[in-house]
A and B are shown apart, each in its own frame.
Chain A
Amino acid sequence: AQSVTQPDIHITVSEGASLELRCNYSYGATPYLFWYVQSPGQGLQLLLKYFSGDTLVQGIKGFEAEFKRSQSSFNLRKPSVHWSDAAEYFCAVGAYTGNQFYFGTGTSLTVIP
């Protein structure tokens, strides 16, 4: 079955500290992986995506993610968190030509001064 697991429901980090949000997936075909961010009451903004090639992908706002096929993971990282990064983060997996995106349940990030 297709699924995405984000083990951490909520994470709190200090501003300036590094961040890693975990994402594990189960997918029957070649996965195409995405990270989205959602601010309160807002829609989703694409941070980055992985289709193929280099397994370390760079995104917007200083985020990066690494695809590890052997671990079925696609963890999101940022070396230094800013207060404006506080939001909900969703990992998603989909097929390249399909319609269905499977979203994780999200990780809520709180940034403390």
Chain B
Amino acid sequence: GAVVSQHPSRVICKSGTSVKIECRSLDFQATTMFWYRQFPKQSLMLMATSNEGSKATYEQGVEKDKFLINHASLTLSTLTVTSAHPEDSSFYICSARATVQETQYFGPGTRLLVL
């Protein structure tokens, strides 16, 4: 099946710093990538959808200036958490889809801890 990777798998940072998370589709070209956030013991919530070469579409309540998304190529999307604070600590999962007719394939997730 299709493989999606994320890097890093775990990151600890100080409050006020920015953190970049990469999402890569390893064996297919992803026209669309999605970023989800998962709080402990809760389900995944879609944060934003990005199409290659276009600006990301953010879900209601998600600060686009806080969570910068770039989808510069068909195999890479990045999520940058700017000026991170402890409340941004969470598990961030990306998914990727080749075409509209395909399902999403999920990455392994990145655990962010902001001290």
The chain A residues found within 8 Å of chain B, CB to CB, are 34, 36, 41-46, 49, 90, 96-97, 99-101, 103-106
In the bound complex, do residue B111 and residue A43 qualify as a contact, i.e. CB atoms below 8 Å apart?
Answer: no
A-B contact pairs, 17 of them (CB 8 A): A34-B103, A36-B106, A41-B109, A42-B109, A43-B93, A43-B109, A44-B44, A44-B106, A45-B106, A46-B105, A46-B106, A90-B43, A90-B44, A96-B101, A104-B43, A105-B42, A106-B43
- Expressed in whole angstroms, the minimum distance between the Cβ of B21 and any Cβ of chain A is 13
Which chain B residue lies CB-closest to A106?
A: B43
In the bound complex, do residue B93 and residue A44 qualify as a contact, i.e. CB atoms below 8 Å apart?
Answer: yes
- Expressed in whole angstroms, the minimum distance between the Cβ of A111 and any Cβ of chain B is 19
The chain B residues found within 8 Å of chain A, CB to CB, are 1, 4, 6, 32, 34, 41-46, 49, 57, 93, 95, 100-101, 103-109, 111
Q: For the complex, what is the distance from the CA of A103 to the CA of B106, rounded to whole Å?
A: 13
- Expressed in whole angstroms, the minimum distance between the Cβ of A33 and any Cβ of chain B is 11
Q: For the complex, what is the distance from the CA of A34 to the CA of B111, rounded to whole Å?
A: 24
Which chain B residue lies CB-closest to A6?
A: B43
In the bound complex, do residue A49 and residue B106 qualify as a contact, i.e. CB atoms below 8 Å apart?
Answer: no
In the bound complex, do residue B46 and residue A100 qualify as a contact, i.e. CB atoms below 8 Å apart?
Answer: yes
Contact (A41, B111) CB under 8 Å given A99-B34, A101-B46, A105-B42 = yes
- Please provide the 8 A-B residue pairs with the shortest distance between their CB atoms, ordered closest to farther: A43-B108, A44-B106, A103-B43, A43-B109, A105-B43, A99-B49, A43-B106, A103-B44
Residues of A contacting B42 in the complex (Cβ-Cβ under 8 angstroms):
105-106
